[in-house]
């Protein structure tokens, strides 16, 4: 791939535009000075909600920090991320507390009891001063099916210690949770390979 030589006028236009952009960018950065633990929500129908949460965990691990992960719905099946996190020893506190998708258990009382146990574990991790980031994976699903009381959950989240980051994943985040959050991203599905008959594959879906 050979680029054409650049016209000096194009180069200068580019330089001027980027110099202006930099001034805006620098002013933006300078205007932000608050540091705080964030309540982060990854929702929406697209792929990447849990995956981005695990990416954040990885970033945190790079600074020698400790992360806690509670899986509210997913059951005991094997995933690559869990094996990979083993490289960080006890700096990843991983707890799979679900019993599989709600359409697998087909048992409301059992699903509620599992969600309660998962949230107790979440509270324990949030109370641990060694933990910098807690991921509550698929908590939105437990809230959507009313396995847990939304107000109780939000009370616990908003009364956590001020420097603790929490990431909550799952479709259909409740409006009250979005209201309480600092950072909310919706993963939108533009195009999905499942629609083209491609199956779930190692390293991609699990």
Shorter beta-carbon distance to its own copies: residue 36 or 161 = 36
Contact status, residue 66 vs residue 135, Cβ threshold 8 Å: no
What is the C-alpha separation between 101 and 76, in angstroms, rounded? 11
Shorter beta-carbon distance to its own copies: residue 116 or 124 = 116
| Rg of the chain in Å (alpha carbons) | 21
Contact status, residue 170 vs residue 41, Cβ threshold 8 Å: no
How near is the Cβ of 186 to its own copies at its closest, in Å? Answer: 4
How near is the Cβ of 121 to its own copies at its closest, in Å? Answer: 13
Shorter beta-carbon distance to its own copies: residue 62 or 129 = 62
Contact status, residue 187 vs residue 44, Cβ threshold 8 Å: yes
Contact status, residue 167 vs residue 139, Cβ threshold 8 Å: no
Q: Which helix (H) or strand (E) holds 71?
A: strand 66-71
| Cα separation of the two ends of the chain | 36
What is the C-alpha separation between 24 and 85, in angstroms, rounded? 39
How near is the Cβ of 149 to its own copies at its closest, in Å? Answer: 6
How near is the Cβ of 45 to its own copies at its closest, in Å? Answer: 10
How near is the Cβ of 95 to its own copies at its closest, in Å? Answer: 17
């Amino acid at each position: 791939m050979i680029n054409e030589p650049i016209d000096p006028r194009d180069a200068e236009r580019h330089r001027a535009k980027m110099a202006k952009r930099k001034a805006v960018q620098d002013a933006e950065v300078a205007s932000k000075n608050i540091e705080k633990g964030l309540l982060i929500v990854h929702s929406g129908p697209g792929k990447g909600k849990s995956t981005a949460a695990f990416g954040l965990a990885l970033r945190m691990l790079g600074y020698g920090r400790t992360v806690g992960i509670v899986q509210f719905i997913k059951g005991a099946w094997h995933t690559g991320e869990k094996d990979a996190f083993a490289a960080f020893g006890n700096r990843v506190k991983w707890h799979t507390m679900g019993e599989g998708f709600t359409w697998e258990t087909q048992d409301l009382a059992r699903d509620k009891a599992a969600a309660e146990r998962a949230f107790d574990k979440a509270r324990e991790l949030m109370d641990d001063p060694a933990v910098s980031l807690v991921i509550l994976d698929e908590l939105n699903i437990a809230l959507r099916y009313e396995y847990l009381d939304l107000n109780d959950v939000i009370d616990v989240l908003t009364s956590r210690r001020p420097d603790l980051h929490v990431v909550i994943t799952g479709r259909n985040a409740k409006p009250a949770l979005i209201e309480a959050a600092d950072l909310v991203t919706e993963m939108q599905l533009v195009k999905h390979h499942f629609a083209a008959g491609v199956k779930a594959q190692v390293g991609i879906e699990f």
